[in-house]
């Protein structure tokens, strides 16, 4: 598979696309005013503890309190899914953990006060000792706590955090308070895994753990030490900041989206990185020169006249992202609908097939749809619960083929995914790890007209509501002068015609109404103001 990273930079926006065999597989968008939160470390203050849902809300200085589930206290497991790394479960790892567990209190430039202040050591021990049971969590309102963001805010939900801190580098992930040394599951060579574990364990400061990333394969001890030293220096700065800052405060800001993509995804499997901005091109080259000079020749500056995303066919994919309907080559299509609870995907054949070929055509369309759905989940970065309604098929063996095809395609996805076989109604349930807001939502805003529902009340329905309001108003009030504010669309509907609807209402109820078109009023509401009282009276007569 040929992989490329294409970066488009403008004054207010950076877009990064990952191409696989010439097709857009992943898309990242970085806009001014919308900072990336994942990986940031905060000194927070416990705002609320809710044992009923086994969670706490942490004030970290953002608009909404962060969500801390009790299972994320003292845990770095979530990190593995984000960066596609896994703790290697071998006897040597357990031995290393037991050997270093007594050294956790003696981190260089650290002390017991720092541990007690953060509350991490005791919580982590509790978590480790209660793997099969609910850990005893001792959080109190007003307590200071060090947390790291693991999920971006989605909708009305704040960020999700954990207390297990991890600092990612190019080749290693440094894990304070944990003596384990893990290796990426993508490193399949046993000898190389053992070599890397031996090198990293020997150079780690007491009380620190690490995960060896895929990019570390074949790297020398000097290169790994350079990466580790930088991470340890960063951690020392975090320690100093924690002791001087007052909660809530941002202690450490992780790399921006562009830098993190280069750090995490620019590996040996990537043939080239193409950038259309000279300044950014120099920054990327400087970073790669420092961490992996042998890959410098893979970085290219795009000099063409045609926009870079047009040149590589990415702009069309972005345009399709905004559409609910995706057409398939077979003539069928899929519809992607997002709701508050889940994302629903419907597969349609699109063409009539003869009865004797219906099963075969349905299978072909479903297989093509399965591949495209897996691609769209990555491209749109759709997370949470996903339900797919495939075309009904009679043969159960064909259902198994669809399930196997989806399982094969999701192997390309870095996110953690669970897939269940098709039900008797041809429904497939999928859960996909959500780390950040979907790409589609980052390109869009909630509709001011419908509030995101996709529907607004009809003009005639609004007119009838106004009619009923005036009937109640005239029965209870002796006032005769009103001001009516409505959306311009409704104002146009009410004022059309020689004898307009608003004029008919004035004659019907013997009241003078001044009609005002107001852009701030949504299309499914109206506001009445009393001229005599000089205030809004809508709610009084509803």
What mean pLDDT comes out for the span 293-320?
Answer: 88
pTM of whole model > 0.75? Answer: no
Domain end, chosen from 273, 288, 314, is at 314
pLDDT in tens, 221-249: 988 998 899 899 999 999 888 888 888 89
The lowest-confidence range among 285-294, 435-444, 464-473, 507-516 is 435-444
Residue positions counted in the chain:
542
The lowest-confidence range among 290-299, 370-379, 520-529 is 290-299
pLDDT in tens, 382-398: 888 999 999 998 888 99
Summary mean pLDDT of the chain: 82
**CA distances in angstroms from 411 to 136, 185, 264, 373, 382, listed in the order given:** 36, 13, 18, 13, 16
Same domain, 304 and 331: no
Same domain, 362 and 378: yes
What mean pLDDT comes out for the span 281-292?
Answer: 85
Same domain, 53 and 125: yes
How many structural domains comprise the chain?
A: 4
Same domain, 406 and 475: no
What is the spatial distance between Cα 368 and Cα 360, in angstroms, rounded to a whole number? Answer: 12
pLDDT score of 325 more than 50 = yes
Q: What is the pLDDT of residue 283?
A: 87
Q: What is the pLDDT of residue 14?
A: 85
What mean pLDDT comes out for the span 339-350?
Answer: 88
pLDDT score of 446 more than 50 = yes
Q: What is the pLDDT of residue 432?
A: 92
Residue 450 placed within a domain: no
Q: What is the pLDDT of residue 33?
A: 63
Q: Judge whether 361 and 398 are in contact, CB under 8 Å.
A: no
Residue 36 placed within a domain: no
Using DSSP's 3-state secondary structure scheme, residue 191 falls into helix
Same domain, 292 and 333: no
Q: Judge whether 158 and 437 are in contact, CB under 8 Å.
A: no
The lowest-confidence range among 93-107, 153-167, 471-485 is 93-107
Same domain, 515 and 396: no
Q: What is the pLDDT of residue 255?
A: 76
Residue 122 placed within a domain: yes
pLDDT score of 286 more than 50 = yes
Q: Residues 6 or more apart from 429 whose CB is under 8 A from it?
A: 385, 386, 387, 419, 420, 423
Residue 447 placed within a domain: no
Domain end, chosen from 442, 474, 489, is at 442
Listed residue (114, 123, 100, 219) closest to 171, CA to CA: 219
Residue 449 placed within a domain: no
Same domain, 78 and 155: yes
Q: Which is more confident, 77 or 121?
A: 77
Same domain, 307 and 347: no
**Percent of all residues in the chain with a pLDDT value above 70, rounded to a whole number:** 84
pLDDT score of 118 more than 50 = no
pLDDT score of 485 more than 90 = yes
Write out the two tokens for 246. Answer: 């007052």
- For residue 124, give the CATH number of its domain: 2.40.50.140
What mean pLDDT comes out for the span 501-517?
Answer: 93
The lowest-confidence range among 253-267, 377-391, 473-487 is 253-267
Q: Which is more confident, 38 or 77?
A: 38
Q: What is the pLDDT of residue 452?
A: 65
**Percent of all residues in the chain with a pLDDT value above 90, rounded to a whole number:** 35
DSSP 236: H
pLDDT in tens, 123-138: 333 334 433 345 567 7
The lowest-confidence range among 219-223, 407-411, 440-444, 455-459 is 440-444
The residues that bridge with 196 in the sheet, in sequence order, are none
Listed residue (446, 428, 341, 432) closest to 379, CA to CA: 432
Q: Judge whether 345 and 389 are in contact, CB under 8 Å.
A: yes
pLDDT-based confidence at residue 318 (cuts at 50, 70, 90): confident
The lowest-confidence range among 282-291, 309-318, 353-362 is 353-362
Same domain, 195 and 336: no
Q: What is the pLDDT of residue 370?
A: 94
Same domain, 221 and 133: yes
The lowest-confidence range among 33-42, 52-61, 399-408, 422-431 is 33-42
Q: What is the pLDDT of residue 372?
A: 93
DSSP 326: E
Q: What is the pLDDT of residue 468?
A: 92
Same domain, 107 and 137: yes
What is the spatial distance between Cα 458 and Cα 460, in angstroms, rounded to a whole number? Answer: 5
pLDDT score of 39 more than 60 = yes
pLDDT score of 422 more than 90 = yes
Write out the two tokens for 292. Answer: 């992996």
The lowest-confidence range among 43-47, 277-281, 338-342 is 338-342
Q: What is the pLDDT of residue 154?
A: 75
What is the spatial distance between Cα 503 and Cα 495, in angstroms, rounded to a whole number? Answer: 8
Q: Residues 6 or more apart from 160 whose CB is under 8 A from it?
A: 66, 67, 68, 69, 72, 149, 150, 151
What mean pLDDT comes out for the span 60-88?
Answer: 65
pLDDT-based confidence at residue 469 (cuts at 50, 70, 90): very high
Domain range for 242? 41-252
């Amino acid at each position: 598979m040929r992989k490329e990273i294409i970066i488009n930079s403008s004054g207010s926006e950076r877009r990064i696309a990952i191409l696989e065999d010439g097709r857009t597989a992943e898309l990242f968008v970085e806009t001014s005013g919308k900072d990336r939160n994942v990986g940031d470390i905060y000194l927070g203050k416990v705002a609320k503890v809710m044992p009923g849902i086994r969670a706490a809300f942490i004030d970290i200085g953002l608009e909404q309190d962060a969500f801390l589930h009790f299972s994320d206290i003292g845990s770095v497991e979530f990190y593995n899914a984000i960066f596609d790394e896994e703790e290697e479960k071998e006897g040597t790892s357990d031995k290393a953990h037991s050997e270093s567990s007594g050294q956790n209190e003696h981190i260089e430039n650290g002390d017991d006060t720092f541990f007690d202040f953060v509350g991490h050591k005791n919580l982590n021990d509790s978590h480790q000792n209660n793997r099969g049971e609910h850990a005893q969590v001792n959080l109190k309102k007003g307590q200071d706590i060090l947390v790291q963001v693991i999920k971006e805010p989605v909708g009305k939900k704040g960020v999700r955090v954990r207390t297990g801190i991890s600092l990612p580098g190019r080749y290693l992930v440094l894990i304070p308070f944990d003596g384990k040394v893990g290796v990426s599951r993508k490193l399949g060579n046993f000898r190389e895994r053992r070599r890397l574990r031996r090198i990293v364990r020997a150079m780690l400061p007491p009380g620190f753990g690490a995960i060896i990333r895929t990019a570390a394969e074949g790297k020398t001890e000097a290169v790994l030490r350079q990466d580790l030293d930088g991470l340890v220096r960063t951690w020392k700065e975090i320690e100093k900041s924690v002791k001087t800052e007052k909660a809530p405060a941002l202690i450490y800001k992780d790399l921006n989206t562009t830098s993190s993509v280069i750090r995490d995804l620019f590996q040996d499997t990537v043939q080239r990185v193409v950038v259309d901005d000279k300044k950014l091109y120099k920054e990327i080259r400087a970073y790669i020169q420092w961490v992996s000079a042998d890959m410098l020749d893979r970085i290219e500056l795009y000099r063409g006249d045609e926009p870079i995303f047009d040149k590589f066919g990415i702009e069309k994919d972005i345009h399709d992202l905004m559409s609910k309907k995706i057409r398939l080559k077979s003539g069928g299509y899929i519809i992607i609908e997002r709701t508050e609870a889940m994302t629903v995907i419907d597969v349609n054949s699109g063409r009539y097939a003869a009865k004797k070929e219906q099963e075969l055509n349905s299978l072909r369309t479903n297989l093509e749809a399965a591949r495209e759905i897996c691609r769209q989940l990555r491209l749109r970065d759709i997370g949470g619960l996903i339900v797919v309604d495939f075309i009904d098929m009679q043969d159960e063996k064909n259902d198994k083929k669809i399930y196997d095809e989806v399982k094969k395609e999701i192997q390309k996805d870095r996110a953690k995914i669970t897939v269940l076989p098709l039900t008797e109604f041809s429904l497939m349930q999928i859960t996909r790890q959500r780390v950040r807001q979907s790409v589609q939502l980052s390109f869009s805003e909630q509709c001011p007209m419908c509030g995101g529902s996709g529907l607004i009340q009809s003009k005639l329905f609004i007119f009838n509501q106004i009619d009923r309001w005036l009937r109640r108003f005239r029965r209870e009030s002796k006032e005769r002068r009103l001001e009516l504010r409505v959306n311009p669309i409704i104002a146009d509907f009410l004022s059309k015609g020689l004898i307009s609807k608003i004029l008919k209402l004035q004659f019907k109820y013997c009241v003078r109404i001044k009609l005002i078109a107001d852009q701030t009023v949504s299309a499914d509401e109206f506001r009445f103001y009393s001229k005599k009282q000089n205030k809004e009276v809508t709610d009084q007569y509803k």
